[in-house]
Amino acid sequence: MSKVIFLVDMQSFYASIEKAANPSYQNKPLIVSGDPERRSGIILAACPLAKQSGIKTAEALWEAKNKCPEAVVVRPRMQLYIDVSYQITKILEQFTDCIEVYSIDEQFIDVTGSQNLFGTPQQIAKKIQQAIFEDVGIKARVGIGPNKVLAKMACDAFAKKSPDEIFQLNQDNLAEKLWPLPIGELFGVGRRMEKHLEKMGLHTIGNLANHPVKWLQKRWGINGELLWRTANGIDESPVTPSTHQEQKAVGHHMTLPRDYQKLDEIKVIILELAEEVARRARTHHYIGHTVSVQVKGSDFQVRTGFNRQKKLASPTHFDMDIYQVALQLFQKHWDGLPVRGIGITLSQLEKAEIHQLSLFDDPLEKIKLNETMDVIYQKYGPTAIVRASSLMTAGQAHIRAGKIGGHDKGEGL
């Protein structure tokens, strides 16, 4: 029996939740945006009415307001969105136990074994749409395919334009439907790769699908073959519920509210980031072998900054270990220009409980100190205990304590 995979995608997820929560917004253009006063006024979501005015995700709030002055602007409530996403997962569990969360508003599900209970793929898709709308008040799109890559492209390229917002893509209609599309619409092709492929004369997905794979392998290795397989609808990866359970890295990035130009101020941010990364690693019982630092300059039109990493002498999940290496990397590679964004990542993870301790380093004191701080954090919140440096004007710990992913946390369900 051929596999039947769905990608269930929520329409304008954040904006739809806000409309469902406030019926007075139903017939108004609505956008969800960060705080414009802190230069994070970026559009996170726009409802279909707002999109009709040309508003796009990730553009500046002032640009969106120029296009649609009457738009209702709502601050993000990230905890609510996370709660609703979990609620949708529970709805999908009524149809199958094989669910892979792809993002906060997209989930892959395998309904191959559910057809005897719930009907044809089209019937199951409609039942899922109805269940989500009745329970959450949000419209869902469904892409159907024999594998994840075709389900994803069925959803992104066709379900959004289909009257019932359901579309099935398979080997029977691949050449007719998918291949005529521009190469930039292929899943996995970004703007840079799009330009490379177009220079090779590969302007459509069909051009790529019928191009000799050996030449793609020669130029891009395994990535070249992967693009060719995607264009031909080939994907053997299963829907895996545990996909996100094994982490490859722990990181935290901060977009700063203003230009940071002094090293002393930047040190405060690096320390706060190191503390957060270390705490997350300990929470999931990981230690890491490599520290990476990502820096973005203040000019968003001209990309400046760097991304550098360093392997540690021994793995760690302690904040000062991470901070010292991150600071070394920053001081070595910083060009002295104003900084607007900094990120720190701990990678090459392994489980902390199986790590062999060094005979020459007794971490007992560090372990006890960090265990105590973690208990205080869990019981009293992230600002119950902070370093004195975070109380300076450069510190962001208190401001970000009420946020998730850099956006307002708001209230949950």
Q: Is 73 helix (H, G, I), strand (E, B) or coil?
A: strand
Is 259 annotated to bind a ligand? Reply is no
Closest CA to 173 of 189, 157, 184: 157
Annotated binding-site residue? 9 = yes
Block residue for tokens 């590969």: 202
Count of other CB atoms within 10 angstroms of residue 214: 11
Catalytic option among 106, 265, 272, 275:
106
Q: How far is 179 from 161, CA to CA, in rounded Å?
A: 17
Sign of CA dihedral 279, 283, 285, 290: negative
CB count within 10 Å of CB 146 equals 18
State yes or no: is 106 an active-site residue.
Answer: yes
Query: Long-range contacts: 144-147, Cβ < 8 Å, 24+?
Result: 144/4, 144/5, 144/6, 144/168, 144/169, 145/5, 145/7, 145/169, 145/170, 145/233, 146/2, 146/3, 146/4, 146/5, 146/170, 146/171, 146/233, 147/3, 147/5, 147/233, 147/234, 147/235, 147/236, 147/237
CA distance 208 to 259: 43
- Cβ contact 305:296 at 8 Å: yes
Alpha carbon of residue 22 to chain centroid: 26
Catalytic residue list: 106
Annotated binding-site members for Mg(2+): 9, 105
Annotated binding-site members: 9, 105
